[in-house]
Amino acid sequence: MSIPERPTSAPSPPAALGTATGETAPDEPQSAAARHHARRVLALSSVGVFVVFLDTTIVNVAFETIGHSFHTTTGHLSWVLNIYSLVFAAVLIPAGRLADRYGRKHVFLIGMTGFGLMSALCGLAPSVTVLIIARGLQGVFAALTIPTSLALILPEFPPSRRPAAIGTWGTMAAAAAAIGPTLGALLIKYASWGWIFLVNVPICALVLVVGSRLLRETREQGARGIPDPLGAVLIAVIPAALSLGIVEGPSWGWSSLRVIAAFVVAVVLLPVFVWRTRTAARPVMDLTLFKVHQFRLVNVASLVFSLAFFAVILSNFIFLQTVWHYSVLIAALACLPNPVMTVITARPATRMAHKYGHQVVFLTGAVLFALAQGALALAVSTHSHWAALWLPGMAVTGISLGINLPTLSVASTKPLPPAQFAVGSAINQSFRQLGAVLGVSLFAAIVGTPGSVSTALNAFHNAYWLFGALGLLSGVIICLPQLRRAPTPAPTA
């Protein structure tokens, strides 16, 4: 039996976005059938976000193997990693806006279908050029999936239960990014590098079959026409140009004309985008969202913490191979306590954030993250002592990620009305993805290609100190108080 479409409620006026709870209506009792349906939607959407975020890190361990397979240069092959991040960050916000207008279910299923097809093309690519093109298209469909997956979940739950639902969703995203290198190493060891992509295909097919029958269509009520095309192009080009400069800065040179041009394009087009968004009849993004104090701080904190988080994941894996000379598989298994503790911690942390407030819980996680990186910087040496020196740092890092990543997801959507769930989630994920690009590039700039083990060890120590400090900074940012000022009238629609 098909489930009828159910539009979300109309958007709340901007002034209502800053309420303490962000709830648009009091809780209504849910029947047992409704609760069961909501849990199924949560499980399905979480699987979708898991498979997408898995591809943000699983490819890292296959870099050398793919290069040998295609006999290509490192510079050419780097685009297998970079193009996915560039396109993903560029398309997220337009994708969220399109989903709010034309239906989250349709956009989600299109995203999962395309992601599965492009994963198959990646796994069977006959050349590195085809692989790079397929990875770029994979980033497009990933961007369609992420904001819609969360936007499909939230209307199914009453406001009091949404934090737990978002926590589960965020746990899957965090676990996928953390477990990616381990799973990738296992697939390369016992199958081939193509399976790091082909493993997505049956999962996407399952989500597509079940989702077409299970999911209910939701969209912004009364929406007409397409979002401003020029605004959509600008919001895609700006993060793409910024990400390009960040990604290629270490290899092209920060003083390279191409890198400078990328940054100039981003800086020049940003005020053009703001002007266009304020004047367009159907803007691609509602700028009044950034007038909400919580939404603004959470996104800045997401940028900074993601920078540290993704850089540390890459740093751990490369440290074990270059300093302790672990194989790819052993290095991946040595990092496994990280995602295990993330999964164990995430749900309790979400409940604590709902009870005590996201600022206190996130600051706690940020402090733990900084302490873990500081301990690694002080403890690890050229001698391999996994249980005594490495395991405690991995466990505490995993706990901090389990606390902070779901908490950021909860805090970023809590002050928003249902009609803006998708675009709000897209903005937050875009900040996270930009942080990931910046973190990996910053790690490359710090560690580089040292010539000896002692030089490498010193570089890794510096990296751990820096990323621990940035993690702590993100906790300070999210706790910044709101400046007292006279209230301003809400802008007209």
Closest among 360, 325, 319 to 461, alpha carbons compared: 319
194, pLDDT greater than 60: yes
465 vs 425 pLDDT, higher one? 465
CB 140 within 8 A of CB 84: no
| CA 373 – CA 85 distance, rounded (Å) | 25
Q: Phi/psi of residue 326, each to 5°?
A: -75, 150
Q: Which amino acid is residue 290, in one-letter code? A: F
55 in helix, strand or coil?
A: coil
Give the per-residue pLDDT at 223: 59
400, pLDDT greater than 80: yes
Rounded to the nearest 5 percent, the helix, strand and coil shares of the chain are 80, 0, 20
| CA 323 – CA 225 distance, rounded (Å) | 57
What is the maximum span of the chain, computed from C-alpha positions, in angstroms? 65
| CA 119 – CA 200 distance, rounded (Å) | 6
Confidence of residue 357 (pLDDT cuts 50, 70, 90): confident
Closest among 339, 341, 348, 297 to 473, alpha carbons compared: 297
Residue bearing tokens 């270059």? 322
| CA 160 – CA 35 distance, rounded (Å) | 13
CB contact burial 258-283 (16+ within 10 A = b; e otherwise): ebeebbebbeebeeebeebbeeeeeb
- Percent of the residues in the chain that have a pLDDT greater than 90, as a whole number: 32
| CA 87 – CA 136 distance, rounded (Å) | 6
Instruction: Convert the pLDDT of each residue in 272-282 to its tens digit.
Output: 999 998 888 87
Instruction: Convert the pLDDT of each residue in 16-36 to its tens digit.
Output: 333 333 333 445 667 888 888
CB 299 within 8 A of CB 412: yes
| CA 217 – CA 212 distance, rounded (Å) | 10
Average pLDDT over the chain, rounded to an integer? 82
Task: Kindly write down the DSSP assignment for every residue of 264-333, as one continuous string.
Answer: HHHHHHHHHHHHHHHH-SS-SS-GGGGGSHHHHHHHHHHHHHHHHHHHHHHHHHHHHHHTS---HHHHHH
CB 425 within 8 A of CB 412: yes
279 Cβ contact partners less than 8 Å away, ≥ 6 residues apart: none
247 vs 403 pLDDT, higher one? 403
418, pLDDT greater than 90: no
pTM of this prediction?
0.79
Confidence of residue 11 (pLDDT cuts 50, 70, 90): very low
**C-alpha distance from residue 333 to each of 65, 314, 316 (Å):** 18, 14, 12
Confidence of residue 14 (pLDDT cuts 50, 70, 90): very low
Residue bearing tokens 């995602």? 339
Instruction: Convert the pLDDT of each residue in 49-88 to its tens digit.
Output: 899 888 877 887 777 788 788 877 655 666 787 788 778 8
